Amino acid sequence: MSPNYSSSLTATNNNESVQTSLTALKAMSANYSRRLTATNNNIESIQTTLTALKAMSANYSSRLNATNNNIESLQTTLAALEDTLQHNMSTMESKLTYLQDAYIRSQETCPIEGLPLFDFLSNSASSIFPRRLPNYYQFTYDGSTNYSIGDGGNDMYDGGNKLHVWRNNEQPVQVKYNRTYIHPLGNFLTACKAEHPFVLSMLVLNRDGEYRTYNIKESGDLGADGGGNYSWDTGSLVVASSNIHYVLHQVYGTSDPSIIQIFFTVSSPLLGSTGRSSLHYVDSRNGTEYTNNTVYMSGNAHKVYFNYILTSTYSSSSNSSYVATSAVKAIVREIFQDFSA
């Protein structure tokens, strides 16, 4: 082989190598071109996403501003409501003060003579109970206050016979002995006498004839220290023109004086009574140690007397005895047999 042919063959081989390299470079270039295109597309997509995020951010910023404005508006409204509430509370406190003053003024503006049945009842009871109740006991009023019996003698009570009166769900008002009260709206009058026996009367006016409840609650330490027994009884009787419903509560069976509490309503044409009512009791279930009992009259009655009598029996030689309901009814019957308004 001649040297020239050998050189030519070598050159040819070199050309093929260059072409192969060029082909490979073209392929690589095409690949990089595709990847560059893809990268550009990704960049455009990212830019689009960023633009959308910026728009969303601007939207949230706008909504946040609106929310802040709403919060400021709510705070302003709340401040206005607080001012209104404080004003209303101040007004209510003023009205409450007026009502409390009305209760106090009522001691002078509602004389006992305005309750004819009360005067009759207290006078008759003080005459008939001592005569008709066996072992009648005249307890003492030795409390340091004028709204309870500290010790009625012989360990009868240790701060008992505390009385409250009220209508519906109103605030109970504590009864002070030998005082007369009028409900601020004129719905009932209350008077009591700390004599023997103790007598309280509530004249229920209920002028509009709506259904309501009128309550008397008696509470305190009975002095029996949990000994003895207690009982409830209910019933009704008619005496002449008077229709009477009663609830009888007794604590007895110890060496202490008995405690006899008679709650009863009286309605009569002589009193101008109208409508209907019923009498109920709520037993506090404190046994013979404490009482916290409520008796209430419910109905639409007008000009009905709701009364409470506290009396007692005692014997130094034996435990106090239960007084039969029939005996109590006989005394009540005797009180009202000659009643005329």
DSSP 101-146: HHHHHHHHHS-GGG-HHHHHHHHHHHHHHHHHSTTB-------SSS
Do 299 and 220 lie in one domain? The reply is yes
Q: H or E segment at 26?
A: helix 3-109
Residue 73 within a domain: yes
Residue with structure tokens 């400021």? 72
Three-class SS of residue 187? coil
Residue 99 within a domain: no
Residue 103 within a domain: no
Pairs from 84-91 (Cβ < 8 Å, separation ≥ 24): none
Residue 322's Cβ-count burial label (10 Å; 0-12, 13-18, 19+) is middle
Mind listing the pLDDT tens digit for each residue in 22-67? Answer: 888 888 878 877 887 878 888 888 888 888 888 888 888 888 888 8
Do 121 and 196 lie in one domain? The reply is yes
Q: Which domain holds residue 147?
A: 112-336
Do 59 and 185 lie in one domain? The reply is no
Residue 49 within a domain: yes
Which of 71, 86, 101 is where one domain is finished?
Answer: 86
- Per-residue pLDDT at 112 exceeds 60: no
Mind listing the pLDDT tens digit for each residue in 215-269? Answer: 999 999 998 888 999 999 999 999 999 999 999 999 999 999 999 999 999 999 9
Which of 70, 86, 102 is where one domain is finished?
Answer: 86
Residue 308's Cβ-count burial label (10 Å; 0-12, 13-18, 19+) is buried
Do 184 and 223 lie in one domain? The reply is yes
Which DSSP category does 283 fall into? Answer: -
- Per-residue pLDDT at 97 exceeds 60: no
The alpha carbon of residue 193 and the mean position of all alpha carbons in its chain are separated, in whole angstroms, by 31
Residue 156 within a domain: yes
Mind listing the pLDDT tens digit for each residue in 254-308? Answer: 999 999 999 999 999 999 999 999 999 998 877 899 999 999 999 999 999 999 9
Do 156 and 192 lie in one domain? The reply is yes
Question: Are 236 and 244 contacting, i.e. CB atoms less than 8 angstroms apart?
Answer: yes
Instruction: Single out the residue of 233, 247, 219, 217 nearest to residue 157, CA to CA.
Output: 219
Token pair for 84: 């209104």
Domain total of the chain: 2
The letter for the amino acid at 288 is T
C-alpha distance from residue 11 to each of 16, 18, 111 (Å): 9, 11, 145
Residue 91 within a domain: no
Do 183 and 296 lie in one domain? The reply is yes
Do 304 and 159 lie in one domain? The reply is yes
Token pair for 322: 């239960």
Quote the CA–CA distance of 149 and 7 in Å, as a whole number. Answer: 144
Token pair for 210: 């709506």
Cut 0.75: pTM above it? no
Confidence of residue 108 (pLDDT cuts 50, 70, 90): very low
Residue 207 within a domain: yes
Quote the CA–CA distance of 315 and 327 in Å, as a whole number. Answer: 18
Do 173 and 47 lie in one domain? The reply is no
Residue 217 within a domain: yes
Quote the CA–CA distance of 42 and 48 in Å, as a whole number. Answer: 10
Q: Report which of residues 319 and 53 the model is more confident about.
A: 319
